[in-house]
Amino acid sequence: MKGDKKMGGFEELGKKLDKLAEKTRSRTQEGVEKTRAEAKNWGEKIDKLGEKIKKTTQEGIEKFALETKEIGQVAKLRSEVRQRKKEMESFLKELGEKTYQLHLKKRIGNVELKKLGSKITKLKKGIESKEKDIQRLRER
C-alpha cells in the first residue's frame, strides 16, 4: 500500500507539473501574441512618423527651392536696376557736359543752368590753380 501511495503522489505531482507547464505555455503564448501586436502597433507608428518626416522634408525642400528661385530673380532684377542707373548716370553726365559746352558758348538762356555753369567754371579754375600749385611744389 505504501508503494501505491508513493505512486499516487507521483501521479498527482505529474498532473500538477503538467498543469503548470500548460499555464506557462499559455501565458508565454499570450505574451508572444501581445508582444507581436505591440510590435506591429509600433511599426505602424514608426511608418506614420516616417511619412510625416518625409512630407515635412519634401515641403521644406520645395519652399527652399521656391525661395531660392525668388532670391535669384530679385538679385537679377537688382542687377538690371544697377545697370540702368549706371547708364542713366552716363547719359546725365553727357547731358551735363554738353550743357556746359553750350554755357561756355553763351547759348544757354535758362538762369538755373547758367548758375550751375558758372559754379562748374569756378570749380574748374580752382582745380587748375591747385594742380599748378602741385606742379610748382614738385619742381622744387
37-92 pLDDT, tens digit per residue, is 888 888 888 888 889 998 999 999 988 888 898 999 999 999 999 999 999 999 99
Does residue 111 belong to any structural domain of this protein?
A: no
Does the pTM surpass 0.75? The reply is no
Does residue 103 belong to any structural domain of this protein?
A: no
Task: For residue 62, give the amino acid letter.
Answer: E
Please return the burial class of 39, using the count of CB atoms within 10 Å of its CB with bins 0-12, 13-18 and 19+: exposed
**Alpha helical stretches, state H, the chain:** 2-104, 111-139
What is the residue range of 76's domain?
2-87
User: What confidence tens digit (pLDDT) does each residue in 18-47 have?
Assistant: 888 888 888 888 888 888 888 888 888 888
What does the DSSP 8-state code read for residue 129?
A: H
Does residue 124 belong to any structural domain of this protein?
A: no
Q: Count of domains in the chain?
A: 1
Does residue 92 belong to any structural domain of this protein?
A: no
- Per-residue pLDDT at 66: 87
Does residue 130 belong to any structural domain of this protein?
A: no
Does residue 17 belong to any structural domain of this protein?
A: yes
Does residue 139 belong to any structural domain of this protein?
A: no
Q: Does the pLDDT value for residue 3 go beyond 80?
A: no
